[in-house]
């Protein structure tokens, strides 16, 4: 294992970085440069591809859609699943563990198998091609991971904390929103960043539930540009970079939190 | 207070329970775009068993399952064990190696679409530059390389598996490892006979995660080979998408969905049993 260690780790680092470094370098090149010298450095650090993508294509409006949709789905997820996770962590009632088990089993559903009923649900309710429709779908996709992370976090909070509030006559609602929520901020942050990234990165549902530029999100841009600007490679490279940069910024800033969330949300054992 | 559960129950019902039941029930109907569904028993499944594209998709999915259980999960476990010590290099490795798992799979697929592009793609350019132009290929679009290229687009990126396994490896008590060391066990022996059995549960979880991921693969194929050439890289998700949203064969599409779900269930139950998950792993 020791002899294999460095070659394997360096190979994996290579495949994890080099394709993106090459994409970044290529995004500064003209089409002619890309075609004539694919592995040389760009002749100059030109942002022309970025400018043309951001001014001549609907990418900026996709960005707005992505921020609104991913942000909306994150907020709704925290509100909805936070309350449920709290009940499932604190209240004792018959069937509680079964309910929690069934809800988190949704993690094991290959959701690509459900595209048709969800597509029809959205068209029948008039939510097809709307931001609200995608907010609902991404909220649903965030269910298992959010619920798991939030409940695990609530379980670490000592019960005495709310007990005192209840003695002072606080209602269940008050105790949750004014005592638990502020204390559980790290749990909410972990659930939020994962829900946001999942919504931001999704391609499949954005593809089947939108048409035209109205509700399209950023990852769909690659598909859109693949047909519209098939031979303008510089623009394609710039588009890829513009899709992944926000994700990488979020990851670098919140790396520890994301890692803990991924571990807590993975149904260990 | 139970009202707190209501919104979550509603989301679960609308987006998981109802679609699951709907997929299952309508898979026994003949249901096209405009007509209401008509019950036809097992006809869709009989048709599937004679459908060459479906069989090819199924075989590909099974191949990808085996590859991900072995290579993908294997890489995740190896990297977790290899970077268990808290050194600077290991920390940097773990941060960077997780990046491909963080970004949009669509962006990852497009990046590799260009990496494998035949004329200006970086792979062929490098192969030419070091003097072997005869090994240049149109990776995604030739019969003998398409499956490899699609597999290579995702199989090396096991950062999340590494993360899960690491979190468990770090909880193996150092006293256990110390005593094995004193007994003369080499590093690989300690990993194989002490650490791996103790992290059995998380290996089972990783295999389940890998199973669900393989069954959900869509973007990587949709944005590169589109299932071709022929049916070389077709999978169940892509075929379902095609049947549902371009051929409007709703009943038939949902039969494909049911098969996908059933494969997942069987695999997950088998993994659960083999790894005796849920049972205590204390020694």
| Inter-chain CB proximity A248 and B99 less than 8 Å | yes
Cβ atoms of residues A133 and A139 within 8 Å:
no
Residues 123-142 of A with CB under 8 A from B: 136-137, 139-140
Cβ atoms of residues A207 and A134 within 8 Å:
no
Q: What are phi and psi of A192, to 5 degrees?
A: -65, -45
Cβ atoms of residues B76 and B203 within 8 Å:
no
Q: B229-245 pLDDT, tens per residue? A: 999 999 999 999 999 99
Whether A81 contacts chain B with CB within 8 A: yes
pLDDT at site B281? 43
Task: Determine the distance in angstroms separating the CA of A85 from the nearest CA of chain B, rounded to an integer.
Answer: 8
Size of chain B, expressed as the number of residues it contains:
283
Cβ atoms of residues A85 and B5 within 8 Å:
no
- The nearest alpha carbon in chain A to B275 belongs to A269
B201 C-beta neighbours (distance < 10 Å), count: 18
- DSSP run (H or E) holding B30: strand B29-30
| Inter-chain CB proximity A114 and B202 less than 8 Å | no
Distance between CA B111 and CA B109 in Å, rounded?
Answer: 5
B196 C-beta neighbours (distance < 10 Å), count: 16
- B223: which 2 tokens? 């944005």
Residues 10-29 of A with CB under 8 A from B: 11-13, 15-20, 22-23, 26
Task: Determine the distance in angstroms separating the CA of B229 from the nearest CA of chain A, rounded to an integer.
Answer: 19
Cβ atoms of residues A26 and A34 within 8 Å:
yes
Distance between CA A109 and CA B212 in Å, rounded?
Answer: 7
CA distances to A38, A52, A235, B39, B126 from A33, rounded to whole Å, are: 7, 17, 13, 59, 16
pLDDT at residue A2 above 80?
A: no
Q: Which of A122, A194, A191, A128 is nearest to A154 (CA)?
A: A191
At residue A203, the 3 state secondary structure works out as coil
Size of chain A, expressed as the number of residues it contains:
269
A182 C-beta neighbours (distance < 10 Å), count: 9
In terms of Cβ atoms closer than 10 Å to its own Cβ (0-12, 13-18, 19+), residue A32 is exposed
- A6: which 2 tokens? 């460095």
DSSP-assigned states of every residue in A46-60: --HHHHHHHHHSSHH
Residues 148-177 of B with CB under 8 A from A: 156-157, 159-160, 163-164, 167-168
- The nearest alpha carbon in chain B to A8 belongs to B79
pLDDT in tens, chain B (283 residues): 788 999 999 999 999 999 999 999 999 999 987 788 999 999 999 999 999 999 999 999 999 999 999 999 999 999 999 999 889 999 999 999 999 999 999 999 999 999 999 999 999 999 999 999 889 999 999 999 999 999 999 999 999 999 999 988 888 888 888 888 888 888 888 888 888 888 888 999 999 999 999 999 999 999 999 998 999 999 999 999 999 999 999 999 999 999 999 999 999 999 999 987 655 443 3
Q: Which of A31, A15, A195, A118 is nearest to B241 (CA)?
A: A118
| Inter-chain CB proximity A201 and B14 less than 8 Å | no
| Inter-chain CB proximity B258 and A113 less than 8 Å | yes
Residues 152-211 of A with CB under 8 A from B: 172, 176, 197, 200-204, 207-208
Task: Determine the distance in angstroms separating the CA of A69 from the nearest CA of chain B, rounded to an integer.
Answer: 15
Task: Determine the distance in angstroms separating the CA of A232 from the nearest CA of chain B, rounded to an integer.
Answer: 12
At residue B143, the 3 state secondary structure works out as coil
Q: A171-180 pLDDT, tens per residue? A: 888 889 998 9
| Inter-chain CB proximity B16 and A106 less than 8 Å | yes
Gyration radius of chain B's alpha carbons: 23
Whether B266 contacts chain A with CB within 8 A: no
- Measure the N-to-C terminal CA separation of chain B; round to a whole number of Å: 41
Residues of B in contact with A266 (CB under 8 A): 160, 164, 205, 209
Chain pair A-B, CB pairs under 8 angstroms? 262
Beta bridge partners of B38: B30
- In chain A, % helix, strand, coil (3-state, to 5) comes to 75, 0, 25
Could you tell me what percent of chain A has a pLDDT over 90? Answer: 65
pTM of the model: 0.93
Task: Determine the distance in angstroms separating the CA of A54 from the nearest CA of chain B, rounded to an integer.
Answer: 17
Residues of B in contact with A9 (CB under 8 A): 79, 82-83, 93
Task: Determine the distance in angstroms separating the CA of A111 from the nearest CA of chain B, rounded to an integer.
Answer: 7
- A79: which 2 tokens? 């509100």
Task: Determine the distance in angstroms separating the CA of A170 from the nearest CA of chain B, rounded to an integer.
Answer: 13
CA distances to A2, B87, B172, B227, B269 from B237, rounded to whole Å, are: 40, 41, 39, 10, 21
pLDDT, chain B, mean:
92
Q: Which of A29, A131, A3 is nearest to A70 (CA)?
A: A131
| Inter-chain CB proximity A244 and B15 less than 8 Å | no
Question: What pLDDT band is residue A73 in, cutting at 50, 70 and 90?
Answer: very high
């Amino acid at each position: 294992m020791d002899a294999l260690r460095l070659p394997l780790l360096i190979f994996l680092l290579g495949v994890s970085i080099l394709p993106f470094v090459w994409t970044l370098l290529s995004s500064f090149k003209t089409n002619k440069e890309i075609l004539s010298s694919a592995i040389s450095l760009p002749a100059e650090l030109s942002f022309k591809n970025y400018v043309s993508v951001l001014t001549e294509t609907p990418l900026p409006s996709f960005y707005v859609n992505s921020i609104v949709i991913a942000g909306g789905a994150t907020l709704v997820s925290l509100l909805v699943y936070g309350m449920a996770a709290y009940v499932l962590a604190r209240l004792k009632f018959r069937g509680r563990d079964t309910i929690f088990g069934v809800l988190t089993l949704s993690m094991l559903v290959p959701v690509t198998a459900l595209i048709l009923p969800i597509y029809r649900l959205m068209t029948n309710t008039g939510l097809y091609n709307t931001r609200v429709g995608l907010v609902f779908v991404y909220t649903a996709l965030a269910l298992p991971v959010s619920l798991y992370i939030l409940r695990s976090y609530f379980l670490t909070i000592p019960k005495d904390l709310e007990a005192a509030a209840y003695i002072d006559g606080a209602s269940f609602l008050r105790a949750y929103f004014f005592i638990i929520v502020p204390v559980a901020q790290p749990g909410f942050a972990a659930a939020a960043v994962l829900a946001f990234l999942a919504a931001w990165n999704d391609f499949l549902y954005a593809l089947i539930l939108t048409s035209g530029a109205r509700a399209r999100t950023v990852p769909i841009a690659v598909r859109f540009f693949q047909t519209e600007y098939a031979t303008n490679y510089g623009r394609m490279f710039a588009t890829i970079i513009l899709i992944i940069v926000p994700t990488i910024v979020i990851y670098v800033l919140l790396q520890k939190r994301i890692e803990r969330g991924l571990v807590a949300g993975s149904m260990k054992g | 207070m139970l009202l707190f559960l209501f919104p979550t129950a509603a989301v679960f019902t609308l987006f998981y329970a109802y679609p699951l039941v709907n997929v299952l029930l309508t898979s026994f109907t003949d249901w096209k775009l405009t007509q209401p569904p008509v019950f036809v028993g097992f006809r869709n499944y009989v048709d599937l068993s004679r459908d060459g594209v479906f069989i090819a998709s199924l075989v590909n999915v099974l191949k990808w399952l085996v590859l991900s259980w072995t290579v993908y999960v294997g890489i995740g476990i190896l990297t977790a064990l290899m970077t268990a010590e808290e050194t600077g290099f290991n920390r940097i490795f773990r941060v960077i190696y997780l990046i491909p798992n963080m970004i949009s799979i669509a962006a990852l697929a497009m990046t590799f679409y260009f990496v494998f592009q035949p004329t200006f793609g970086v792979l062929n350019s490098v192969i030419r530059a070091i003097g072997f132009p005869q090994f240049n290929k149109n990776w995604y679009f030739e019969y003998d390389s398409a499956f490899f290229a699609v597999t290579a687009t995702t199989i090396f990126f096991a950062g999340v598996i590494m993360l899960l396994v690491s979190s468990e490896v770090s909880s193996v008590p150092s006293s256990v490892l110390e005593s094995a060391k004193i007994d003369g066990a080499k590093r690989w022996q300690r990993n194989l006979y002490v650490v791996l059995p103790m992290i059995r549960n998380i290996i089972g979880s990783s295999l389940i995660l890998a199973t669900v991921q393989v069954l959900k693969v869509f973007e990587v194929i949709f944005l590169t080979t589109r299932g071709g050439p022929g049916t070389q890289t077709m999978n169940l998700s892509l075929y379902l998408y095609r049947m549902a949203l371009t051929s409007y064969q709703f009943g038939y599409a949902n039969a494909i969905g049911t098969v996908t779900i059933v494969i997942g269930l069987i695999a997950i139950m088998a993994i659960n049993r083999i790894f005796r998950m849920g049972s205590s792993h204390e020694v």
